[in-house]
Amino acid sequence: MLLIPAIDLKDGQCVRLKQGEMDDATVFSSDPGAMARHWLEAGARRLHLVDLNGAFAGKPKNGAAIRSITDVVGDDIPVQLGGGIRDLDTIEHYLDDGISYVIIGTAAVKNPGFLHDACGAFPGHIIVGLDAKDGKVAVDGWSKLTGHDVIDLAKKFQDYGVESVIYTDIGRDGMLGGVNIEATVKLAQALSIPVIASGGIGSMKDIKALCAVQHEGISGAITGRAIYEGKLDFQKAQAEADKLTEAAKA
């Protein structure tokens, strides 16, 4: 089980939101590069970046902050990035700049043809982000709930060739109330590609609960507010996850 620190970028700073509300942002650092170095030194094996301004504007908005992170990370670990990615040129630009995986969310739901083209043009580099509440997919920074069933949509995107699916329960994100294990497992069981859990990780208990079901196809978990507020020690949590993973193999 891979624990993936989240670095959410707003106006060039590292922040966390509660349930996607841009007006409810807590600033944790004004130096994204230093924050990336911190997680690298703590043993992170992947980073998760979100261009929050980009997600709301529909185009990249935190280029300088993203470059400061890729400059620090280099080839040491993969970096995945989402937020405002709406065309193939943007994907190519990010991959050229050192991003390993590009996450397509709202655009995948609204314009499946774009996702299909992206998977064809950049195989192995496209992750789809599905944000859902009560099994239905949300778009536009979670402001609109669609009628799309999350499992049906994920299966379609799997056929397109996405590398993995990031599944976020938007009712839990930033609230530290625990991951929606049942919904995450249900999605993972329906797919043959990995599912990365997101939203609600608040303690070591959540890490243990995810590790107990990782054999269903859950390859990682994105963690944000808990590791920034000190409710979860990232190094200890990854060490525990590694131990549980090894024990499950034995």
The pTM of the whole model exceeds 0.75: yes
Q: Give the model confidence (pLDDT) of 84-97 as tens digits.
A: 999 999 999 999 99
Cα 221 to the center of its chain, rounded Å? 8
Please state the length of the chain. Answer: 250
* Residue appearing with tokens 């990365």: 196
Q: Can you read off the two tokens belonging to residue 180? A: 């929606």
Count Cβ atoms below 10 Å from residue 230 Cβ, excluding itself.
7
pLDDT-based confidence at residue 28 (cuts at 50, 70, 90): very high
Q: Give the model confidence (pLDDT) of 115-173 as tens digits.
A: 999 999 999 999 999 998 888 898 876 667 888 999 999 999 999 999 999 998 887 66
What secondary structure, in 3-state letters, does the chain show? CEEEEEEEEECCEEEEECCCCCCCEEEEECCHHHHHHHHHHCCCCCEEEEEHHHHHHCCCCCHHHHHHHHHHHCCCCCEEEECCCCCHHHHHHHHHCCCCEEEECHHHHHCHHHHHHHHHHCCCCEEEEEEEECCEEEECCCCEEEEEEHHHHHHHHHHHCCCEEEEEECCCCCCCCCCCHHHHHHHHHHCCCCEEEECCCCCHHHHHHHHCCHHHCEEEEEECHHHHCCCCCHHHHHHHHHHHHHHHHC
Pick the catalytic residue: 51, 131, 173, 206? 131
Task: Answer whether 104's CB lies under 8 Å from 126's CB.
Answer: yes
Task: Answer whether 126's CB lies under 8 Å from 161's CB.
Answer: yes
Is there a catalytic annotation at residue 131? Answer: yes
What pLDDT was estimated at residue 173?
60
Dist CA 42 CA 140 (whole Å): 33
The Cα diameter of the chain in Å comes to 48
Quote the radius of gyration of the chain (alpha carbons, Å): 16
Q: Can you read off the two tokens belonging to residue 94? A: 């990010």
Q: Is residue 2 pLDDT above 70, yes or no? A: yes
What pLDDT was estimated at residue 141?
63
Is there a catalytic annotation at residue 75? Answer: no
- Region for 84 from its dihedrals, namely left if φ exceeds 0, alpha if ψ lies in -120 to 50, beta otherwise: left
Q: Can you read off the two tokens belonging to residue 234? A: 């990232």
Task: List residues bridging with 218 in a β-sheet.
Answer: 195
What pLDDT was estimated at residue 179?
86
What pLDDT was estimated at residue 142?
60
Q: Is residue 19 pLDDT above 70, yes or no? A: no
